[in-house]
Structure 1
Amino acid sequence: MLQQIQRPLTTQRPQTAASLMQTMNLLHLTSDELRQSIERELSENPALELTNAPRCPACGRKSAKPGICPVCAARSEAQVIVFSAPVADFHESVPGRRSETYDSQQAPEAAETISLAAHLLGQIAAELALEDRPIAAHLLTALDEDGLLGIPPSEVAAYFHMPMQRVERVRQLIQRGEPLGCASTSAREALSAQLHILGETQTLPCAAQVCLEHFELLAHHNLGEIAKRSGFSLEEIETASHFIGANLNPYPARAWWGAQSGTGSPQPVYRTPDVVLRWLDAAGAALVIELALPYAGQLRLNPLFKQARAEDETGAFDEAIGRARLLIKSLRQRQTALEMLMARLAGLQRPFIVHGASNMLPLTRAKLAADLGFHESTISRAVAAKQVQLPDGHIIPLARFFERNLSARSALKNLIQHENSPMSDEELTKALSKQGFTLSRRAVTKYRLMEGIPNSQERSRERRKKNL
């Protein structure tokens, strides 16, 4: 059974609206953004102060609270150990290879940077006619922060003096890239595009399309009225609504790009990850999850301010002390939520962490939220823009743990690496089907392009050159 070491939960006490709101805002921030926010508050609020960080008496490592650190306390018991440490100390013990253990020392690698526009263009380039590339570039640079098209397609057609059908053909090609539905003109169209594409490879709930046709009612969760107007039973409408909520996203760019812009700005590079995963020892039985604390110390109320408030009857210090207490409480709730999320996520996706992408288990944010008793939006905020370093030293987006196609892409790479003669995409589709992956040929082509693998003809030419 999954065991974890983490700080005592503080969320059992009733939360005020202000505390909950601030916790949600802080949860969305990366460790670097959180550090900047705390430094700003420390400079503006004299009631808040930062003390020296306590150290573990067993190993001497800085920790988030006094006493034995979780690593030493459960060195021989836990399978998953959650540990928080100042982000400035991450370079002291970040291993670069799976064989290295918790005490190994190596600086973390930088995360890869790529814009959403470039990511989409890389997927559709092979299917894009040379003369259509300017149209694709125009559409991709017009995407807003949600991945939706910021200009009418008719305007693009008029700009290039081309028929609308040609612009629509390019736009539909972009919609099929990951994340699905980008370049749609509205949230409703994005959902419809995603539903249509998913319907090519899986069975959809019978009332799914009807729910999208009553988009306004669906947005207000008025499922009874949809059932009344459509003739479907309420149970069928609820099933379809749940499927849409779990598998579709009205704002496609958020599925890949978090809250970052998809208009060409590169994703931020995190030289230091927000979370580091590594093995406790060479045996690889226990996994250490180290979460970044944005400061090397403990935040607390300034004792002088507390004393001054006790002696003052005017309430002049109340606002500053209230702000300090709210921030300290919200930070504790944020860290607790992240610890719970990472402990559960590491337990569910341990095969992926140990053996690689081919062992990725299908997992949605909705399922993880249900497991933890959180709202799905809480998971989305916690995952957004965070970076995780795996035990082998690679830094990946935390959102990668929720990618549905990762295991299929890994299986595709493995097939091509071990093929006797280059297989066409149609042959690859059949081979993947035998392994349990139900994919269309178009999806196989897209995944091959995402992995940077040339087509069968180019692979044949490369082999002939090597054999000369």
Structure 2
Amino acid sequence: MDMIQGMVPHLGMKVSPRLVAASYILELSSQELQQAITEELNDNPALELLERATCSVCGSALEGSICPRCLRQQKIDQPSDEADFTEEYFSSYSLSGGTGEEDFDPLNQVAAQMTLSERLMMELQGMLPKSDLPIAEYLVGSLNDNGYLTCTVEEVAEFFGVPVRRVELVLGILQSLEPIGIGSRNIQECLLIQLSYLAQDGLAIPPYAQEIVTDHLHELAEHKYGKLASILGCSTDAVAEASEFIKQRLNPYPAQEAEKNEPGSAKGGAIHVLPDVIISSGEQQDRFDVEVVESKRFFLRVSPLYNQLLNDVEKEAERFSEDEKRHIQHYVSRAKLFIANINQRRQTLHKITQAIAEAQTDYLSKGVRFLKPLTRATVARELGMHESTVSRATASKYVMVPSGEVIPFSNFFTASLSVRDVIKEMIGDEDSPLTDQEIAAKLANRGIIVARRTVAKYREQLGILPSSLR
């Protein structure tokens, strides 16, 4: 065989190091960004940080030791006599910046507490490859107050363009965490996961408990022990034993109990989450201002000394050795690139948040029931960005909304949250149990058209029993 050497044209895509660095910075959470900045400051002598005093609640720039934003919010929340309020506020907020017990503590204001979702994500970060973390965040962000998953694995797979099996594997890891039963798709799966966990832990499971949970929850809820005994071919005492075990050992609402025991709950020491972005009411009605907090928190620049050295290198190169020139040029270029990536991150976050605020005006003004269906793809199309850019920019980041609440960005992208919220409200206010068909009819009267099957699906996701069992 003859070997022939030649040139063959090949068309391919090469990702530039600059793009990789920009994507990395964009993806970082606020805490991770601060760590990255600290590391870069330690490694790069040409980079300088000018720190600015910021509020520990909202991140806004302080005037002296006072946060104007929190002061305005407190005036709104407490519409008492203005003079009395101002005197009380300033007497407790030390202008000297002291830390005595009588000083005003802004952390008692509106900062969000560490949630169960945050703890789950912290654990998942150590258990999953980085490529699966966006899937995990989507799943955790789709948990309702009871800890149930409010989306299907098929929907998640379609969103990320990955096989369903991959989503199921990530979900399986989530379901292995405490509280046991978290991430379940319905009550039955929740209880079965808990039974399996208890069995693996060496606890004796009564006969028929698993079979009752698997196939006969309705009969159990109605206390039809005789019927269950007939179906299972056992005594009513055996059914009663299984029933008592299920009642005492299993928890159909895993997240509720877990939230009570979280370190950040009202019963424990509060852990606060600072927002990455603040959305505040604008001067015009239904208009909102967006502020990226980090732009107020710090200011990066190239060291004046290194700037001067670079100018000297360009004008009088003969004064410097080759190593000195390489050192100066390398670190100045590196500092400029790092600063450019930080600025691009701010601009991208600002654009995305502004687009979200314009799309969710009613939600920001009136509350969660007015949340409109919105996807990251929709925001990306509007801004002319790639969907992955929007996903990276909003992952693991938090927003302070006009009410003062700090929420994850993922809250804006829960398409069916408002419908579930209305269903939950209807059932909570019902005089007599509403059937799924009646709920669908009431929703239609409000202009929300959903099928009875969809109502049933959302009701199950909320962990609410059917009308016959309520």
TM-score range, shorter chain: 0.5 to 0.7
- Residues 145, 263 of structure 1: 8 Å contact kept: no
Distance 1:355 1:99 in 2: 16
Residues 257-283 of structure 1: per-residue CA shift (max 9 Å, x gap): x99x846569997521222223357x8
Q: Counterpart of 1:377?
A: 388
Distance 2:164 2:405 in 1: 26
Residue 322 (structure 1) shift? 1.8
Residues 217-257 of structure 1: per-residue CA shift (max 9 Å, x gap): xxxxxxxxxxxxxxxxxxxxxxxxxxx6xx565278999xx
Q: Counterpart of 1:180?
A: 152
Q: Name structure 2 gaps, 5 residues minimum.
A: 1-14, 79-85, 90-105, 122-131, 137-147, 183-263, 265-270, 314-319
- Residues 433, 467 of structure 2: 8 Å contact kept: yes
Residue 316 (structure 1) shift? 2.3
Q: Secondary structure at the match of 1:385?
A: coil
Q: Counterpart of 1:24?
A: 23
Q: Counterpart of 1:411?
A: 422
Q: Secondary structure at the match of 1:316?
A: helix
The verdict on how the C-alpha distance between 1:444 and 1:112 changes in structure 2, with shifts beyond 3 A counting, is farther
Distance 2:444 2:149 in 1: 21
The verdict on how the C-alpha distance between 1:285 and 1:376 changes in structure 2, with shifts beyond 3 A counting, is closer
Q: Counterpart of 1:352?
A: 363
- Of the candidates 260, 268, 278, which is equivalent to residue 280 of structure 2? 278
Q: Secondary structure at the match of 1:391?
A: coil
- Residues 26, 392 of structure 2: 8 Å contact kept: yes
Q: Name structure 1 gaps, 5 residues minimum.
A: 1-15, 56-60, 63-82, 119-143, 149-175, 182-189, 195-243, 460-468
Q: Counterpart of 2:205?
A: none
Counterparts of residues 151-190 of structure 1 (less than 5 Å): 177-181=149-153, 190=154
Q: Counterpart of 2:218?
A: none
Q: Secondary structure at the match of 2:48?
A: strand
Q: Which has the larger radius of gyration?
A: 2
- Residues 46, 331 of structure 2: 8 Å contact kept: yes
Greater per-residue helix proportion: 2
Tell me which amino acid in the other structure corresponds to 2:291: E
Give the stretch that moved more between structures: 405-414 or 307-316.
307-316
Residue 115 (structure 1) shift? 7.6
Counterparts of residues 306-325 of structure 1 (less than 5 Å): 306-309=307-310, 310-311=312-313, 312-314=320-322, 315-325=326-336
Q: Counterpart of 2:83?
A: none
Residue 286 (structure 1) shift? 4.4
The verdict on how the C-alpha distance between 1:40 and 1:248 changes in structure 2, with shifts beyond 3 A counting, is closer
The verdict on how the C-alpha distance between 1:412 and 1:340 changes in structure 2, with shifts beyond 3 A counting, is same
Distance 1:442 1:26 in 2: 43
Residue 361 (structure 1) shift? 1.9
Distance 2:365 2:17 in 1: 40
Q: Secondary structure at the match of 1:289?
A: strand
The verdict on how the C-alpha distance between 1:30 and 1:263 changes in structure 2, with shifts beyond 3 A counting, is farther
| RMSD between aligned residues | 4.4
Residues 74-120 of structure 1: per-residue CA shift (max 9 Å, x gap): xxxxxxxxx9956999976347689459x9973412253238999xx
Counterparts of residues 12-411 of structure 1 (less than 5 Å): 17-53=16-52, 85=60, 93-94=69-70, 99-100=76-77, 106-114=109-117, 145=133, 177-181=149-153, 190=154, 249-250=161-162, 262=174, 271-280=273-282, 286-293=287-294, 296-309=297-310, 310-311=312-313, 312-314=320-322, 315-411=326-422
Q: Secondary structure at the match of 2:433?
A: coil
Residues 185-214 of structure 1: per-residue CA shift (max 9 Å, x gap): xxxxx46x97xxxxxxxxxxxxxxxxxxxx
The verdict on how the C-alpha distance between 1:334 and 1:265 changes in structure 2, with shifts beyond 3 A counting, is farther
Q: Which has the higher contact order (CA 8 A, sep 6+)?
A: 1
Distance 2:296 2:353 in 1: 20
- Residues 84, 290 of structure 1: 8 Å contact kept: no
Distance 2:467 2:66 in 1: 44
The verdict on how the C-alpha distance between 1:421 and 1:98 changes in structure 2, with shifts beyond 3 A counting, is farther
Q: Secondary structure at the match of 1:396?
A: strand
Distance 2:73 2:176 in 1: 31
Q: Secondary structure at the match of 2:439?
A: helix
Distance 2:374 2:275 in 1: 22
Tell me which amino acid in the other structure corresponds to 2:330: E
Q: Secondary structure at the match of 2:22?
A: helix
Tell me which amino acid in the other structure corresponds to 2:333: G
Tell me which amino acid in the other structure corresponds to 2:42: S
- Residues 177, 446 of structure 1: 8 Å contact kept: no
Residues 357-390 of structure 1: per-residue CA shift (max 9 Å, x gap): 2222222211211111111111111111111222
Residue 25 (structure 1) shift? 1.2
- Residues 147, 251 of structure 1: 8 Å contact kept: no
